[in-house]
Amino acid sequence: MNRTTFIIDGFNLYHSVEEDAHQLGFGSRGTKWLNLRNLCASYLHVIGSNAQLEKVYYFSALARHLEATKPDVTQRHQVYVQALESTGVIVKLSRFKAKEVRCPKCGSRNVRHEEKETDVALAAKLLEVFARDECETVVIVTGDTDIAPAVRTASALYPLKRIAFAFPFARKNKELAQLVRTSFQIRKEAYVAHQFDNVIQLPDRSISKPATW
């Protein structure tokens, strides 16, 4: 048995999902209501015939700074988190931090918000699951090279463990692919195939897909 855990970079995947929606003719909506557990399970065959889904970790952050212009942005994300958790996905939320940026040309100052802690939290989880012997294989869902140092370290410390990359659609990264023996790209059609039902019925409540999704 090859216990396989997926660690998902939520924002890297989100931008891929948006691009996928445009390419499939959905505009800015259509594939955000993504059942990550089912999506991950559908790619276990790439890892091997004995691969068994162990855990799915989802890392992201609530964009509260956008609420002034998009009042329901946080609520939509929280509803999605509830949907993920209803399938056993383990959600880890970080935060956005305001940062003042000076324009080098005109000297004007503007405030930008940057996602904080997510990359470090994702890297720490990679090392943690190997240290605790939670699985034999970790599949990292991202195309962001910020994870590269953690992958090198984990590979050196745990040579008997296996790391693979699942690149979100249109996020394939050659640099990351060279770090591991197994990598693959998620097909855009897979996003469509693994959507939650519009209403998820639980024993004590129901979770409904946001109207604008």
Distance in angstroms (rounded) separating the CA atoms of residues 125 and 206:
31
Is residue 208 in a domain? no
Look at residue 213 and tell me if it is in a domain: no
Angle between helices 118-131 and 148-157 (to 10 degrees): 10
Q: Is the pLDDT of residue 208 over 90?
A: yes
pLDDT in tens, 72-130: 768 899 999 999 999 999 999 985 554 455 566 675 655 454 655 788 999 999 999 99
* Domain membership of residue 142 as a residue range: 2-203
Decide if pLDDT at 193 tops 70.
yes
CB-side exposure of 150: number of CA atoms within 13 Å? Answer: 21
Query: For residue 10, is it within any domain?
Result: yes
Domain count, the chain: 1
Q: What percent of the chain has pLDDT over 70?
A: 83
Task: Report yes or no on 168 lying in a domain.
Answer: yes
Query: Whole-angstrom Cα distance, residue 132 to residue 116?
Result: 25
Give residue 142's pLDDT band: very low, low, confident or very high (50, 70, 90): very high
Inform me whether the pLDDT recorded for 6 exceeds 90.
yes
Task: Report pLDDT for 111.
Answer: 46
143 is a domain residue: yes
Rounded-to-integer distance, Cα 169 and Cα 20, Å: 7
Domain contains 64: yes
Contact 31, 24 (CB under 8 A): yes
For the chain, the 3-state helix, strand and coil shares in percent, each to the nearest 5, are 35, 30, 35
Q: Is residue 160 part of a domain?
A: yes
In a domain, 209, yes or no: no
The model's pLDDT over 31-84, given as tens digits with 9 standing for 90+, comes to 999 999 999 999 999 999 999 999 999 999 885 544 455 557 688 999 999 999
Q: 17: domain CATH number?
A: 3.40.50.1010
